[in-house]
Amino acid sequence: MSLFGIRGIHVPHRKNTAGMSPIRFCDVKEVILPTVQHIGAPAKPVVKVGDVVAVGDLVAEAGGFVSSPIYAPVSGTVKKIEDFLLSNGSYAPAIVIESDREMRVSDRITPPDVHDFDSFITAVGKSGLVGLGGAGFPTHVKLAVKDPSKIDAVILNGAECEPYITSDTVTMTEHAADIAEGITLLRRYLGVKKVIVAIEKNKPAAIRKMQELAASNPIVNVKILPSVYPQGGEKVLIYNTVGRIVPEGKLPLDVGVIVLNVTSLAFIARYIKTGMPLVEKCVTVDGSAVAAPKNVIVPIGTPMKDVFAFCGGFCAAPKKILYGGPMMGIAVPNAEQPILKNTNAILAFDEKDAVLPRETNCLHCGKCQSTCPLRLNPPAIADALARGDGKLLYDLRVNLCMECGACAFVCPARRQLVQRHKLAKGVLKKYQTELAQKKEEQSRG
């Protein structure tokens, strides 16, 4: 039996906004730009309170190679720079810009000079792009491979397997030309010889558009996948498209592939053409507490409350608000939280949908283990966590968990397995740190 297969679960699709063209929301009073909107080092503010900025002006530079710059999404005045409470409970400096409601575009905007591999990677880095459908990994780092000849294929992730979210679907149906241009850029500067567009079968309009694109480009193939969650998980997607397993601790490049979100690639094409950096996002706004679900193009940094108001406000008191989908989304402390670079959806749920069922004892039914796409053993991980056994957690490969939530979804005891896995990773990290310290002390003699 293979490590992954097509394993997964059938979740309600609830793609209520799939046929809705996005509506632009520009009348923003102020934006909040945390300097942590990506994996890696925080961005470093280059503006001060009182500075006047225009759309596209640099307000924070990358804090290192694995980092990403941040640009003004509105024109206006820098109101303050202060620590801001993020959804994960930590604080980071945030640049607050008071909008003048004019959306004046910076006179510094100009298409980048791209003529070879190095200039292409530099341009992607300066664009401010991070993965727009996932954890926010800086895209230029992913593309900056030492030997591009090792790239056998690029997989464009259009699976969008989470319930409710349709922002990537909108990209495929309405911006296929940008995706096509992005593929041309990958072929020209990375020498890519094969591109696979991976889409779940529940998106017929997107499939048609991508098949039209493939018909005119011999290096493109559309892979129609079963609508099985978590089909869009990177390692799962790689196996289900090219049949390769990414070993523990390795990257997709180690098996000859790069995975890019379809919206990320479309943005690269637009940036190379126009020079306008990442300043806005198409976001799906939905959930049982939302009065009028929509796809909205919104300036990055716009507080959630303003986006919900633009969608008719709430039809019921929101008891839970999420960044992202209901399977892997992150609950926020309040609706003051801003739209971030990698925000593809914000969802608000009423009390009925928000309250978690009462957890009971494990039944040892095995459903969680048989469902996990990575063949992990959640009950054993929970037991090791309870004992604080870092060595056993290492042996159980808890770090492989992508926190997709499939195990918790099928659990008849309603156990909070994902939360346990997150805590277990913390215990494992502490164990590995202590082990490394002991080895260092022993080597010193």
Average pLDDT over residues 201-208: 97
Alpha carbons 323 and 340: distance in angstroms, whole number: 9
Q: How far apart are CA 248 and CA 242, in angstroms?
A: 18
Task: Work out the pLDDT band at 4, boundaries 50, 70, 90.
Answer: very low
E strands present in 189-246: 195-200, 220-225
Mean pLDDT of 255-263: 96
pLDDT mean over 52-77: 97
Q: Give the C-alpha separation, 71 to 74, whole Å.
A: 9
Ramachandran bin of 193, using left for φ above 0, alpha for ψ from -120 to 50, beta for the remaining angles:
alpha
CA 378 to chain centre: 24
Residue 349 one-letter amino acid: F
Q: Kindly tell me if the per-residue pLDDT of 2 is higher than 50.
A: no
Closest CA to 304 of 290, 316, 136: 290
pTM listed for this prediction: 0.94
Q: For 293-311, what is the mean pLDDT?
A: 98
Other CB atoms within 10 A of residue 209 CB: 24
Q: Check pLDDT > 50 for residue 1.
A: no
pLDDT tens-place string over residues 77-96: 999 999 999 888 889 999 99
Asked if the model's pLDDT at residue 376 lies above 60, the reply is yes
Picking from 301, 299, 268, 279, the residue whose alpha carbon sits closest to that of residue 140 is 268
Residue 249 — very low, low, confident or very high, per pLDDT cuts 50/70/90?
confident
Q: What is the pLDDT of residues 104-149, one digit of tens each?
A: 999 999 999 999 999 999 999 999 999 987 778 999 999 999 999 8
